[in-house]
């Protein structure tokens, strides 16, 4: 089989490398291409701001102090002149000579005029007259601004800032960047490898285990490991495996039970028939009755199995009609009347009509009463009650028998499920009765349930919606259309 898709490990490593390439590319761009303009931009903003703050102090006593502080703080040279080149205040931070310092009165005056013509301010980069790092010429940024003092005299503010040669920095950064790139690539590859292993290993393990499931081993335990998703997957598969295991066990049990249930009556029928054929005088009505009873057992079992397989195949359709449920229950109870030692008190109240499949609902009642009889023990009384609850009617069947353990209450509705695992013939149940009840009520959209106390008895109940009153044709049509 051709394997589709990339391995988790490959995907993670690939993703990591794409990420790394993007990051490194971005860093290179930022640090080499854009560093110079970025640096200039910052410097320009700085000199402008200094010019502003000098301008505010132009005619105050603090001008000198202010200029000195600013120059010291920023490492720049600052000069304030008038239109004739007279120096009013000036200061430079470093020991190095500055371009401004070299300008004499005449140069300053000419410069003033030039700046004035430029529109009152000029920003320019000049080659510094001094050498700097590695013999490379350093550059200076010169900013000039002409403004008027409070008393209206023209002033020129000159700010000079050295621009550290960026290429030297760029070289350093480049080396650093190469180092970072190499370290990141090595470290990242290791990391990607280990992460990928951590994630893919448990998935591979689970995959191996799941292959066993497909071959019918349901006792598999799916390993947990690594990430939460994988753990959850493991849990889900464990759950699935245990459910499949349960279903498989039930299937096996059913096969065993059904074969047993079929064989026992058949053996009886065969045995009695042979006795009646071979031994004169054994052809008695009692023996014939035994054969008939056993044949009845067989029929009931086969019918249950057929019903259930039809339900499960979804082949059952409801034949709804309006009928008197109360009368129907009474009718079913008469079928049990031949059990001379049992009594079936029915607390009914008014007659109640429902719109449902009559045959199926009677099967529900029959199965519940039949179970109550089978499990009622010494009491030999099965109590039936009919109650109206809002727009529904509830039928309950109560026995004072052995009850059902609380942890089994959910399972009894499952097909083939029996609380009593031993196959006692006196209780010729197949474990199908309640499953049929559940199927029928679900098809009707009804509700059902059971309350049971171990050793005290059980109450099984179901609820169906009441039928609309007889003369309401509209409601009947509604129900018909709902059914379709």
Residues forming the site for ligand ADP (CB under 6 A): 371-372, 374-375, 399, 401-402, 404, 412, 417-420, 429-435, 458
Closest CA to 167 of 280, 360, 328, 35: 35
CB-wise, 371 or 439, nearer to ligand ADP? 371
Angle (nearest 5°) at CA 248 between 444 and 454 = 65
What is the smallest separation between the CB atom of 311 and ligand ADP, expressed in angstroms? 13
What is the smallest separation between the CB atom of 412 and ligand ADP, expressed in angstroms? 4
CB-wise, 157 or 432, nearer to ligand ADP? 432
Burial of 74 (0-12, 13-18, 19+ CB in 10 A): middle
CB-wise, 160 or 402, nearer to ligand ADP? 402
What is the smallest separation between the CB atom of 368 and ligand ADP, expressed in angstroms? 8
With beta carbons less than 8 A apart as the criterion, state whether 100 and 79 touch: yes
What is the smallest separation between the CB atom of 428 and ligand ADP, expressed in angstroms? 8
Angle, helix 63-74 to helix 35-56, in steps of 10 degrees:
160
Alpha-carbon distance of 184 to 20, in angstroms, equals: 8
SS3 for 236?
helix
What is the smallest separation between the CB atom of 373 and ligand ADP, expressed in angstroms? 9
With beta carbons less than 8 A apart as the criterion, state whether 222 and 210 touch: yes
| Residues paired with residue 387 on neighbouring β-strands, in sequence order | 394
Alpha-carbon distance of 437 to 463, in angstroms, equals: 12
CB-wise, 244 or 409, nearer to ligand ADP? 409
SS3 for 283?
coil
CB-wise, 181 or 374, nearer to ligand ADP? 374
CB-wise, 195 or 298, nearer to ligand ADP? 298
What is the smallest separation between the CB atom of 456 and ligand ADP, expressed in angstroms? 11
What is the smallest separation between the CB atom of 464 and ligand ADP, expressed in angstroms? 20
With beta carbons less than 8 A apart as the criterion, state whether 20 and 184 touch: yes
CB-wise, 89 or 430, nearer to ligand ADP? 430
CB-wise, 157 or 308, nearer to ligand ADP? 308
Which residues neighbour 417 within 8 Å (Cβ) at sequence distance 6 or greater? 250, 411, 431, 434, 435
Q: Which two tokens stand for residue 426?
A: 């006196």
Residue whose beta carbon is closest to ligand ADP: 429
SS3 for 274?
helix
SS3 for 307?
helix
What is the smallest separation between the CB atom of 1 and ligand ADP, expressed in angstroms? 44
């Amino acid at each position: 089989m051709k394997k589709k898709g990339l391995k988790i490990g490959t995907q993670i490593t690939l993703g990591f490398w794409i990420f790394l390439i993007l990051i490194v590319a971005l860093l290179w761009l930022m640090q080499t291409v854009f560093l110079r303009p970025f640096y200039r931009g910052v410097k320009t903003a700085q000199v402008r701001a200094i010019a502003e703050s000098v301008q505010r102090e132009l005619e105050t006593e603090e001008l000198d102090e202010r200029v000195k502080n600013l120059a010291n703080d920023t490492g720049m040279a600052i000069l304030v002149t008038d239109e004739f080149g007279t120096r009013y205040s000036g200061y430079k931070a470093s020991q190095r000579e500055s371009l401004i310092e070299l300008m004499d009165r005449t140069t300053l005056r000419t410069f003033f005029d030039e700046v004035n013509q430029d529109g009152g301010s000029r920003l320019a980069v000049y080659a510094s007259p001094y050498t700097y790092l590695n013999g490379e010429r350093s550059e200076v940024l010169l900013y000039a601004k002409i403004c008027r003092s409070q008393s209206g005299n023209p002033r020129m503010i000159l700010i000079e800032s050295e621009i550290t040669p960026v290429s030297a920095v760029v070289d350093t950064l480049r080396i650093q960047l190469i180092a970072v790139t190499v370290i990141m690539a090595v470290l990242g590859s290791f990391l990607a490898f280990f992460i990928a292993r951590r994630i893919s290993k448990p998935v591979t393990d689970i995959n191996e285990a799941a292959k066993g499931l497909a071959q019918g081993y349901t006792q598999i335990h799916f390993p947990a490991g690594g990430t939460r998703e994988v753990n959850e997957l493991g849990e889900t598969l464990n759950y699935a495996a245990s459910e499949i295991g349960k279903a498989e066990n039930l299937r096996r049990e059913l096969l065993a039970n059904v074969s047993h249930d079929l064989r026992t009556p058949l053996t009886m029928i065969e045995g009695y028939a042979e006795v009646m054929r071979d031994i004169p005088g054994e052809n008695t009505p009692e023996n014939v009755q035994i054969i008939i009873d056993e044949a009845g057992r067989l029929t009931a079992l086969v019918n249950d199995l057929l019903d259930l397989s039809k339900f499960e195949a979804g082949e059952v359709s409801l034949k709804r009609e309006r009928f008197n449920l109360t009368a129907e229950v009474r009718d079913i109870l008469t079928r049990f009347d031949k059990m001379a030692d049992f009594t079936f008190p029915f607390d009914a109240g008014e007659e109640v009509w429902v719109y449902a499949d009559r045959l199926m609902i009677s099967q529900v009642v029959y199965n519940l009463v039949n179970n109550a009889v089978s499990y009622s023990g010494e009491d030999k009384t099965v109590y039936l009650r009919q109650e109206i609850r809002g727009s529904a009617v509830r039928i309950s069947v109560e026995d004072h028998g052995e009850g059902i353990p609380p942890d089994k209450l959910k399972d009894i509705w499952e097909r083939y499920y029996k609380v009593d695992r031993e196959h006692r013939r006196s209780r010729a149940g197949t474990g199908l009765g309640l499953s049929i009840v559940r199927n029928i009520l679900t098809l009707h959209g009804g509700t059902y349930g059971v309350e049971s106390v171990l050793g005290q008895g059980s109450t099984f109940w179901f609820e169906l919606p009441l039928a609309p009153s007889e003369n309401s044709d509209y409601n009947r049509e509604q129900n018909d259309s709902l059914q379709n």
